[in-house]
Amino acid sequence: RMKLDEKRKNDDWDRLMEVNARAGELYQRELDKKR
């Protein structure tokens, strides 16, 4: 039972990291445009 919770937490974390990475890329691209 504990393992299932752990897995769900990890999946959420992975999704969060993925979204953050994508947002970071877009942000970086915008900064490059302004330069």
Q: Is the dihedral of CA 28, 31, 33, 35 positive or negative?
A: negative
What does pTM read for this prediction? 0.58
pLDDT grade, residue 2 (50/70/90)? confident
Query: What is the span of the domain harbouring residue 26?
Result: 1-35
pLDDT of residue 25: 97
Rounded to the nearest 10°, the torsion over CA 12, 16, 18, 21 is -160
Counted domains in the chain: 1
Q: What would the pLDDT profile of 5-30 be if each residue is shown by its tens digit?
A: 998 999 999 999 999 999 999 999 99
